[in-house]
Structure 1
Amino acid sequence: MSQIPTLDIRRFIQPVSAADRAAFVAELGAAYREWGFAGIRGHGIGGTLTEAAYGVFQAFFALPEAVKLRYHVPGSGGARGYTPFGVETAKDSRHHDLKEFWHIGREIPDDSRYRPVMPPNLWPDEVDGFREHGYGLYQALDALGGSVLSALALDIGLPEDWFRDKTDSGNSILRPIHYPPITVEDIPNVRAGAHEDINLITLLVGASAEGLEVRSRKGEWVPFTADADTIVVNIGDMLQRLTNHVYPSTTHRVVNPKGGAARQPRYSTPFFLHPNPDFLIDVLPGCVDADNPSRYPEPITAHGYLEERLREIKLA
């Protein structure tokens, strides 16, 4: 593949034939084996929902810093609420990312066994509709992510519903991000330093703005600016580990634009789909063979892995 492909997921969820559905599964699997990234269109997440969510997110980031900081919870690892500019730092990077963000997590009952590691959401009182539109987008992306995982399960020889009961209480995160305008010349930081994601898969709404780059197998940085109706979905480290690198977690970054575009803010909203906190990430036997021996003899829980990685990126 010379470029990152974009596929229509209606071929999987509303197929015209069993043969075309199987072809979609094979094409999606091939895209992820090669790139760890793919564009997904035909997802049914309408522009009205996305625009409403972006409207409330931008309204929050436009609030005075003192107001936003009321929703920052020191010592929480940014699990919920607001994380200010200059905190998150890509693994092994000397410079912090040029962004501020908010975290929306899964709504669970207080008596859930996961409550100790999945705190309640915070909702800003100053922005009407923030909870309605923010959590609406969360639920839509969660459902789409489930469809992508179902297709990938089939691709590696698992039952279609294999991931369902392993992600139904997942510690997944919707992260509205604001990259402020860049006003300093020759700044050493980039908007988001080269990194891999922690989770199973990431679904990115807002990749239609320039800046996202993906590192190819040859080590080249390949720009990926998707159409406005396309959601970019990439493999995270947890799925890479689970599949013994059959699906690679590909390094990517968000670079600073040139010229006048640098003076404009950038907004994007990734959804990080996680497994349930007590899910044991253990290499799937079907992803091990003589040419690809197991790289991870010791399993680890999803929550344990998340804690390790949050420390690496200075969120914990």
Structure 2
Amino acid sequence: MQVQVVDYQSKDAPKRFVESLKSTGFGVLTNHPIQQSLVESIYKRWYQFFTQGNPQDFAFDPAKQDGYFAPEISETAKGHQQKDIKEYYHIYPWGRIPDELKDEILTYYHNTSELAAELLDWVEQYSPEEVAKHYSEPLSNMIKDTPNTLLRVLHYPPLTGNEEPGALRAAAHEDINLLTILPAANEPGLQVQAQDGTWLDIPADFGNLIINIGDMLQEASGGYFPSTSHRVVNPSGENATKSRISLPLFLHPRDEVVLSERHTQKSYLLERLKELGVK
């Protein structure tokens, strides 16, 4: 099991990328169209917002799930007791965004959503016929005009030594959505669980784009594409004194999109949010 690092510009990129998704749940792209300068600027400005700004003025809306989630109300991963050591902000184009940060973050949101549609086309192109025939509509069409795709700006604060025993920056979990698109964070720590239970570091050189399968694609593909467990481990030594900023885009279909005989997007999402304790 090895996560493939694929040159987005290469002729065989779609095939190799989907092969990596199939075998590991993850794929990594280089030479992709997302501007690194934009990512770096977002990291810098949102770090300032979390550490010097007024995030509490944008406290999350339980009904809409937009805005700022403080550390004391952040997620508890399914099957875990301790809350993750993080705070974050949920970005939707229709949601509340600080005025000084809005244009830049929405540019990133739209650019990455466009790339995401292409990657979903790659997944469908290399889905076996017996798998693809069960997709209720083209995968990229599932996210067309969706109001549900979520961009999360994550801040993992420096560790103080007073953390709850066993708590991690992000405990082992699977994502809920179709695909997650993540530019490499400013600090390492992301790992994926191999089939034998061991944990492997994700190739996360600054500039890489990391993509992983979520539960909704696993559901839509009848389990062909695996939603694999991943986590963000706590740093040690000097790195423990550093913040970590992360920027995952979670691709969610429109509410009415049928994933399987059991679930639409809406029914699946509600079930999982209740499990996470945020709904």
Same fold (TM over 0.5): yes
Q: Is 1:173 matched up with 2:150? A: yes
Q: Is 1:138 matched up with 2:109? A: yes
> How many angstroms does 1:277 deviate by?
1.4
- Given the alignment, which residue of 33, 36, 52 partners 1:63? 52
- Given the alignment, which residue of 74, 93, 101 partners 2:80? 93
Is the CA contact 2:67–2:97 (under 8 Å) kept in the aligned structure 1? yes
Is the CA contact 2:5–2:203 (under 8 Å) kept in the aligned structure 1? no
Is the CA contact 1:210–1:225 (under 8 Å) kept in the aligned structure 2? no
Match of 1:83 in 2: 69
Q: Is 1:164 matched up with 2:140? A: yes
**Partner Cα separation in structure 1 for residue 61 and residue 18 of structure 2:** 40
> How many angstroms does 1:275 deviate by?
1.0
**Partner Cα separation in structure 2 for residue 140 and residue 51 of structure 1:** 15
Q: Is 1:264 matched up with 2:238? A: no
> How many angstroms does 1:55 deviate by?
2.5
> How many angstroms does 1:10 deviate by?
2.0
> How many angstroms does 1:264 deviate by?
1.1
Amino acid at match of 1:232: I
**Partner Cα separation in structure 1 for residue 185 and residue 19 of structure 2:** 22
Is the CA contact 2:7–2:30 (under 8 Å) kept in the aligned structure 1? yes
> How many angstroms does 1:70 deviate by?
1.7
> How many angstroms does 1:52 deviate by?
2.1
Amino acid at match of 2:72: G
Q: Is 1:230 matched up with 2:217? A: no
3-state DSSP of counterpart to 2:72: coil
> How many angstroms does 1:228 deviate by?
1.4
Is the CA contact 2:218–2:225 (under 8 Å) kept in the aligned structure 1? yes
Amino acid at match of 1:168: K
> How many angstroms does 1:164 deviate by?
3.0
Is the CA contact 1:56–1:133 (under 8 Å) kept in the aligned structure 2? no
Q: Is 1:124 matched up with 2:95? A: no
Amino acid at match of 2:48: A
Counterparts in 2 of 1:1-316, with a 5 A limit?
1=1, 3-11=2-10, 20=11, 23-63=12-52, 67-76=54-63, 79-87=65-73, 88-105=75-92, 107=93, 120-125=94-99, 128=100, 130-156=101-127, 157=129, 158=132, 162-170=138-146, 171-184=148-161, 187-207=165-185, 209-282=187-260, 298-316=261-279
> How many angstroms does 1:25 deviate by?
3.1
> CA offsets, 1:230-274, max 9 Å, x none?
110000000001111111000000000111211111111100011
Larger Rg: 1
- Quote the RMSD (CA, aligned, Å): 1.9
Q: Which runs of 4+ in 1 moved over 6 A?
A: none
> CA offsets, 1:61-97, max 9 Å, x none?
0235xx32121134236x2111111321101110000
> How many angstroms does 1:47 deviate by?
1.7
User: What are the ranges of 5 or more consecutive residues in structure 1 without an aligned counterpart?
Assistant: 12-19, 108-119, 283-297
> CA offsets, 1:117-158, max 9 Å, x none?
xxx310224xx2x00111111111111111111111100145
Match of 1:17 in 2: none
3-state DSSP of counterpart to 1:280: coil
Is the CA contact 1:214–1:252 (under 8 Å) kept in the aligned structure 2? yes
**Partner Cα separation in structure 1 for residue 46 and residue 63 of structure 2:** 21
Is the CA contact 2:186–2:245 (under 8 Å) kept in the aligned structure 1? no
> CA offsets, 1:289-314, max 9 Å, x none?
xxxxxxxxx33110111111111111
User: What are the ranges of 5 or more consecutive residues in structure 2 without an aligned counterpart?
Assistant: none
Q: Size of the alignment, in residue pairs?
A: 270
**Partner Cα separation in structure 1 for residue 185 and residue 192 of structure 2:** 12
Is the CA contact 1:208–1:227 (under 8 Å) kept in the aligned structure 2? no
Change in Cα spacing, 1:33 to 1:211, as seen in structure 2 (3 Å) is: same
Is the CA contact 2:118–2:140 (under 8 Å) kept in the aligned structure 1? no
> How many angstroms does 1:28 deviate by?
2.0
